[in-house]
Chains A and B, each alone.
Chain A
């Protein structure tokens, strides 16, 4: 790889040669890459926000689904979430990281080529997502919907990014790493870990795969990923950006550098444990739910430490907010970060989650963070960067200020509407009579109708926000149109390089892990965890360990004269040991939660019942259900709370979804839960099941939901009657599921075809009795077969036999 650094040794004429230490080299930064990522972020921001606005209006006016398969809510909502997370925030954070890292390292990005591969590879992955998600090619896991070839592309591009980033750190001309870079390191390493583990899957074709985890394991891994995608993709890199750009814009250093040390390590360590708070009251083991809740509550401290550190950086500069749009956006973004990180732990408290889960309250919480924290940090950063990267004053500060107020009012409309909506619907869904024996509002649709005006207010709030973004686009376009792009430079002296070289390598692997600060900190953390999470003597022993380690550390440092800051100063001058410790801190929580859950033997640890594997036709129907994104609006998890049991039936057991790949417990109930929708095999039938609703009800409901549920906001799916389901892929899918441990007997393609035909024929015949006709191979028939199977289980004793022999059992 050639050295791409543009270096011009400058020496003033007619002067004696400078001493070697003072020889100056001027380095030009690769700001072209920053400009590319910034413009991409602005463009994808428009796409992602527009998709969000469209689906918000689709919820209000189902006709906007246009009866087109690729335009339906279930397919466009993943497009919206993926676009705003990976395309908008992704490109934004890459712009910020490349711009700030070069300056903090006083070095040009290590490789221009890797930078270009990173940029174009990332855009290719986004384009791939935009072309596949609307056509129903999805894994069916929230924020991890991309199909496996795109997952591989994303992973490779991320590796390219990581190499370029760490290579730049290794070539830096600054002895130590600034706090922003710590957050970038945590982002790169943790996102790689999360993304790879959660996307472990077995392909059945170029466009389809099954995740290797099933049921409860998939739920735990998915929300370990899902929650920490928020933590390490939407939070830590933006915190790094905050630590660089807020001091820069306020023209004063960060309020407390020492607080940032505490902020970083506590956040990285604690965040990763919080995932299970997405699964409270579900079939997830209770110890995991408790860990998720407790660590979520602990997050209050580091989150607010960081928020206060950011806001107090503006000390003495508050007057600038009146005119400076950049600082205005930053201050509001940090305030929204504080609000969202207060609300998150609040929602993870079991008694609050009882009300809030599956409602719009969660949606409001997420959007306070994404629109307020991510969106406003992005806007502030772009308004800051555009004049510097194109060497021209911002076209209109007035327009930027208007953008701010439009966005601000939009967020307030959006968030307050979602709070009111979530609390209203949550209260209605959970309300019972005085004895607690009957629901006060048994009709789910009635609760939906009560929040319709708030849903419209949300869409209006989103419109305001999007309008503000359009103003940003106009403003940036006018600023850079015809302007000459410029690249920043820095003068580096030979002594700087020498100082950096003296620092790097001064801390080996062994001293990194086995030194007083790390050992004492580890002992305190282990002791406190034992104290909190165990009982009796173990708990007492944990307290004792924590106490002894604390006192030992004080005595040790006082007696020896060592200082924590001396060791830490050395650590932040050594990028590899720093990165290793960061990875350890971020990986511990996930390892403790996930490994035991994966190791336990399934059939020995289930409750009273285990799921009956799907028939070939039900597999086809389930894949259609996943492909249409039904999980975006329907859960399949009756929580262990009285209102859920009264409304839907028995609470869901862990075993009832143990073979589901992906799990479909859901995170939002725009429509009712479906876990008890299925039923037993119908009288006189061999394979056809009939559950809570008849086949004909499902038929009519899928074609026109409002015909059976006046006021329903579910979109119609008329194409399912005419489009053929993919039966040819079933043998490969069954083979894949067998490989993953689903107890199927060996079946050849002919036998599978026979089963498909027989079950489909039974359903079609049943429909015909009510004068409804359907092609046996239509998607609708397969979907009906699946809907009638949801939640069907058998006694654990039968299941054990099936698991051990993988033989079919006659019912």
Chain B
């Protein structure tokens, strides 16, 4: 039983901590981190432009 209380408590701490950090991160001016740039190459190209046929 004690284990259950401890588990719930730690889970709540983690969850609240996560929410707080997430909120702080959302409010930060850059909304970015050093790792965000690492995602840049993963963006795919858009479709080619449709040119009017002459």
Residue of B nearest to A564 (CB): B34
> Is B23 located at the chain interface by the 8 A CB criterion?
no
CB interface residues, B 29-54, toward A, < 8 Å = 30, 32-35, 37-43, 45-49
> Is A440 located at the chain interface by the 8 A CB criterion?
no
The CA of A489 and the CA of B41, in the complex, are separated in Å by 14
Q: Report A239 CB to chain B, min CB distance, Å.
A: 14
> Is A179 located at the chain interface by the 8 A CB criterion?
yes
Residues of B contacting A526 with CB < 8 Å? none
Whether B34 and A254, one on each chain, are in contact in the complex, defined by CB atoms closer than 8 angstroms, is no
Q: Report B21 CB to chain A, min CB distance, Å.
A: 15
Whether B48 and A391, one on each chain, are in contact in the complex, defined by CB atoms closer than 8 angstroms, is yes
Whether B32 and A26, one on each chain, are in contact in the complex, defined by CB atoms closer than 8 angstroms, is no
Residues of A contacting B46 with CB < 8 Å? 26, 488-491
Q: Report B20 CB to chain A, min CB distance, Å.
A: 18
A486-B38 contact in complex given A103-B43, A176-B32, A569-B32, C-beta closer than 8 Å: no
Whether B42 and A489, one on each chain, are in contact in the complex, defined by CB atoms closer than 8 angstroms, is no
A179-B37 contact in complex given A569-B30, A569-B32, C-beta closer than 8 Å: yes
> Is A565 located at the chain interface by the 8 A CB criterion?
yes
Stretch among A54-62, A243-251, A768-776 lining the B interface: A243-251
> Is A117 located at the chain interface by the 8 A CB criterion?
no
Whether A388 and B45, one on each chain, are in contact in the complex, defined by CB atoms closer than 8 angstroms, is yes
CB interface residues, A 246-286, toward B, < 8 Å = 247-248, 251-254, 257-258, 261
Residues of A contacting B30 with CB < 8 Å? 175, 569
CB interface residues, A 699-737, toward B, < 8 Å = none
The CA of A346 and the CA of B33, in the complex, are separated in Å by 38
Whether B34 and A253, one on each chain, are in contact in the complex, defined by CB atoms closer than 8 angstroms, is no
A261-B34 contact in complex given A487-B48, A491-B46, C-beta closer than 8 Å: yes
Residues of A contacting B35 with CB < 8 Å? 253, 257-258
With beta carbons under 8 angstroms apart, the residue of A174, A251, A489 that contacts B47 is A489
Whether A248 and B41, one on each chain, are in contact in the complex, defined by CB atoms closer than 8 angstroms, is yes
Residues of B contacting A257 with CB < 8 Å? 34-35, 37-38
> Is A740 located at the chain interface by the 8 A CB criterion?
no
Q: Give A164-177 as 1s and 0s: 1 = Cβ < 8 Å from B's Cβ atoms.
A: 00000000001111
Whether A489 and B45, one on each chain, are in contact in the complex, defined by CB atoms closer than 8 angstroms, is yes
CB interface residues, A 2-54, toward B, < 8 Å = 6, 8, 26, 28-29
Q: Report A535 CB to chain B, min CB distance, Å.
A: 40
Residues of B contacting A180 with CB < 8 Å? 41
The CA of A261 and the CA of B35, in the complex, are separated in Å by 11
Whether A176 and B37, one on each chain, are in contact in the complex, defined by CB atoms closer than 8 angstroms, is yes
Residues of B contacting A243 with CB < 8 Å? 41
Whether A487 and B34, one on each chain, are in contact in the complex, defined by CB atoms closer than 8 angstroms, is no
The CA of A8 and the CA of B47, in the complex, are separated in Å by 13
> Is A342 located at the chain interface by the 8 A CB criterion?
no
Residues of A contacting B38 with CB < 8 Å? 178, 247, 253-254, 257
> Is A568 located at the chain interface by the 8 A CB criterion?
yes
CB interface residues, A 407-464, toward B, < 8 Å = none
Whether B37 and A572, one on each chain, are in contact in the complex, defined by CB atoms closer than 8 angstroms, is yes
Residues of B contacting A490 with CB < 8 Å? 43, 45-46
Whether B45 and A488, one on each chain, are in contact in the complex, defined by CB atoms closer than 8 angstroms, is yes
Whether A178 and B40, one on each chain, are in contact in the complex, defined by CB atoms closer than 8 angstroms, is yes
Residues of A contacting B43 with CB < 8 Å? 103, 490
Residue of B nearest to A490 (CB): B46
With beta carbons under 8 angstroms apart, the residue of A103, A253, A261, A388 that contacts B39 is A253
Residues of A contacting B45 with CB < 8 Å? 29, 103, 388, 488-490
The CA of A177 and the CA of B46, in the complex, are separated in Å by 21
Q: Report B50 CB to chain A, min CB distance, Å.
A: 10
Whether B48 and A247, one on each chain, are in contact in the complex, defined by CB atoms closer than 8 angstroms, is no
Q: Report B14 CB to chain A, min CB distance, Å.
A: 24
- What are 17 of the A-B contact pairs (CB < 8 Å)? A28-B48, A103-B45, A174-B40, A175-B32, A245-B41, A248-B41, A253-B35, A253-B39, A253-B41, A257-B38, A261-B34, A489-B46, A490-B46, A491-B46, A565-B34, A568-B34, A572-B37
* Contacts beyond the supplied A28-B48, A176-B32, A490-B45: 10 A-B pairs with Cβ under 8 Å: A174-B40, A180-B41, A245-B41, A248-B42, A489-B47, A489-B48, A489-B49, A490-B46, A565-B34, A568-B34
